[in-house]
Chain A
Amino acid sequence: MQDSISFFTGFGVNDLWFLGEAALKTLWISVLSISIGTLLGTFFGWVLHEGKLAATLTIAPVLDVFRSVPLIIQLVLFYNFAPIIGLNFDPFVSGVVILTFYTAALVANVARGGIEAVPPSMRRASRSLGMSYWQDLFHVVLPIGGRAVFPAWIGVVLGVMKDSALVSVLGYVELLKASQVLITRTQEPLLILAIAGAFYFALSYPISRYAHKFEQRWSK
């Protein structure tokens, strides 16, 4: 009798670790992109609010492109065409760059909404106390506007975290890519996608819970 070679092996504990590590990579790429993207987006939002005409002619159209073109197309285009201008980024860096700009484009409008949520009369009152423009911005507009748009920002955060799965098309082994690898080997798509889904849920749920707690505390 001839021994047969087994191509497919079942799902094991090691595979769970593999998925766990991939989930951490998803978390890492998301944390990086969301943090930098939020800072950048807040700055863009401020520019949109302050320099209406100049911003409309400069950054607004660029942000519109990032917001309107599907993320997967942005990723593939950037990863494949950046080397032409001498930017040889690996899939991770390419993913972070595109996700950062994508986040910034979404956050810019949220941030602008936050600034506009603070009534002009409130800003007038703080200026009448002798606060400078920047003191008013940091001590009054940021905390008040920030709270007003916090739920919208959390929506962006959760969206970007799930969208980070698209970086898998560049070959970066994050949670979704790891699932695909395991499915190919084990032929158990239902089980593995369910586990991957559970990991995404485990990453997202604490964020929305925490966010909800903050909102409740602020509404008191």
Chain B
Amino acid sequence: MIQVRDLHKHFGDLHVLKGINLDVNKGEVLSVIGSSGSGKSTLLYCLNSLEQIQQGSVHVDGIDVHAKSTDVNKLRQKLGMVFQQWNSFPHLTVLENVALAPRIVKGKSKEEAIAMAEKQLKHVGLGDKFKHYPNSLSGGQQQRLAIARALAMEPEYMLFDEATSALDPEKVGEVLDTMRLLAEEGMTMICVTHEMGFAKEVSDRVAYFHHGIMEEIGPPEQIFGAPQSEHTRKFLANVR
């Protein structure tokens, strides 16, 4: 379970997150929506300590993420993350991209790491691309590679930071399908997204962020059908 309590984050004078409280249960899919600059992505970075926080706390399965005594490298293995930019390692083949972290971080043998990489690549539909280099793949394929790379660490949570925003429109579907598949398999997911259809259809809950505040959170029927907040209503009216 992920527990966020009174989370504040500043970038210099900019107050990006203003006291966020949030619980995400195991097996749940939470979509985070909101306009650019509302602090959605920053929230994700605070969950796995890629960003430091100024106030409040984040606990993942009871571990205080920002405590000095916490081994963040170990903690991050619990939280797979997929970014807007796919960030494939260009010097490694598709298979090596996925096998690298299990080998050097988890200390798996080469055979085990490769077996895990093959399994995850087949899982995301890249079973025929093992020997390819990332630059020969399309954006959608590279993003699925990034998903496989995160899954190979056997995370308990997956964080998606606008995973489809940098893709050509025709490639968005294949990545969303992969995310949908993970959700169906019971993966706990927090998806920062601009894909309202996905948020509506796949999420258990949807959170709307506005200027660093979590304005509203609830089941998709509430957020999309009967939003409580005026800001949520305005935002959804604009994106529809």
Contact = CB atoms under 8 A, between A and B. Distances in A.
Interface of A: 119, 121-122, 124-132, 135, 139-140, 143-144, 147, 218, 220
A130 B73 CA distance: 4
Contacts of A140: 89
B83 interface: yes
A147 to B, nearest CB: 6
Interface in B84-119: 85, 87, 89-91, 100-101, 104-106
Contact of A129 (B85, B91, B150): B150
Interface stretch (B15-23, B54-62, B74-82, B184-192): B74-82
A127 B51 CA distance: 12
A128 B74 contact: no
Given A125-B83, A131-B105, A139-B104, A144 B73 contact: no
B70 to A, nearest CB: 13
A121 B76 contact: no
A130 B74 contact: yes
Q: Give the contact-size bracket for chain B.
A: 20 to 34
A143 to B, nearest CB: 5
B133 A129 contact: no
Given A122-B87, A125-B146, A130-B77, A135 B104 contact: yes
B50 interface: yes
A147 B50 contact: no
A128 B50 contact: yes
Contacts of B76: 127-130
A97 B147 CA distance: 49
Contacts of A131: 73, 101, 104-105
B91 A124 contact: no
Q: Which of A124, A128, A147 has the largest count of B CB atoms less than 10 A from its CB?
A: A128
Contacts of B85: 119, 121
B91 A125 contact: no
Contact of A144 (B79, B91, B149): B91
B44 to A, nearest CB: 10
A16 B161 CA distance: 67
Given A121-B83, A125-B83, A127-B50, A132 B73 contact: yes
Interface of A is mostly: helix
A40 B133 CA distance: 32
5 contacts: A124-B87, A127-B73, A128-B83, A132-B73, A135-B105
A128 B158 CA distance: 11
Nearest to B45: A124
A129 B48 CA distance: 10
A132 B104 CA distance: 10
B77 A124 contact: no
B53 interface: no
B87 A119 contact: yes
Given A121-B83, A132-B73, A218 B91 contact: yes
B153 interface: yes
Contacts of B81: 125, 128
Given A124-B50, A126-B101, A128-B80, 18 more contacts: A119-B85, A122-B87, A125-B81, A126-B89, A127-B73, A127-B76, A128-B48, A128-B79, A128-B150, A129-B77, A130-B74, A130-B76, A130-B153, A131-B104, A135-B104, A140-B89, A143-B91, A144-B91
Given A131-B101, A135-B105, A220-B133, A125 B73 contact: no
Contacts of A220: 133
A130 B87 contact: no
B87 A125 contact: yes
B124 to A, nearest CB: 16
A126 B150 CA distance: 10
Contacts of B146: 125
Contacts of A124: 50, 83, 87
